[in-house]
Amino acid sequence: MHAFVVDAFTDRPFAGNPAAVCLGTAASGDHLGDERWMQQVAAEFNLAETAFLAGGPGAYDLRWFTPQVEVDLCGHATLAAAHVLWEIGESADVLQFRTRSGVLTAQRTAGGIALGLPADAATPVTEGTAPLLAALGLAADRPVYRGRDDYLVEVADAAAVRAVRPDFAALREIPTRGVIVTASEGAAAEDAEFVSRFFGPAVGIDEDPVTGSAHCLLGPFWAARLGRTTLRAVQLSARGGRLEVEVGPQTVRLTGAAVTVLRGQLARHS
């Protein structure tokens, strides 16, 4: 099985969000049915996400694993997977990925790779937010919202996003895939309309460098607030990353670049 490490949502190596991509072939008999083996491989890579691909041309089965669990949706590893496929010779200009979140698409554009992911809606949470906000070190009156998989917490400005220092042990006890902290005020200094950070200790990722799937929630949230459907986003992690976000009624289109930093062969042990 071919294996790659790709930095996603960046145009330079050692930035953005690294993902491993494992590509099976019909001739070798590789398939995506051995969850235990895939989980072990993801733990071995120890990156935020490892993507497993099989099928083609043009349409592929795709699954994503953190070092601890399988997840329903991952944007940056999907971007990495599409990047690898085109780099090794896939001819289709639009790719389809069959996933646990339905059929996702990737398209080559002048600005990079555009992903079509399912839009999410933020619902205000009015009770029981004290443990979450305390784990983030934030005041108890900060507005909290809930999407399909994640909490979203709005803070005053970009400086406040940078300043968050979570108690990861406490955050791990919150029943959620992850927690997004976000702001629009001060984002212009980053050449963006909004900024964010993402914490997911419950799934083995204390802080994710760039989280495509979180923008399925962030995009519609800020589109409604700012009255525009096309936005620039920056994730303020140590590595940093940049996304172009286009919000539709049911789909969020995320555009970004990717860079391959490693190629190899993954040994299959029984």
Would you please indicate which residues are annotated as catalytic (active-site) residues?
49
**What are the CA-CA distances from residue 184 to residues 15, 54, 121, 126, 206 (Å)?**
23, 39, 18, 22, 23
The pair of structure tokens assigned to 220 is 């519609």
The pair of structure tokens assigned to 222 is 């800020």
Q: What is the rounded CA–CA span in Å between residue 66 and residue 69?
A: 5
Q: What is the rounded CA–CA span in Å between residue 199 and residue 214?
A: 10
Choose among 188, 237, 241, 204: nearest CA to 48: 204
Rg over alpha carbons for the chain, rounded to the nearest Å, is: 18
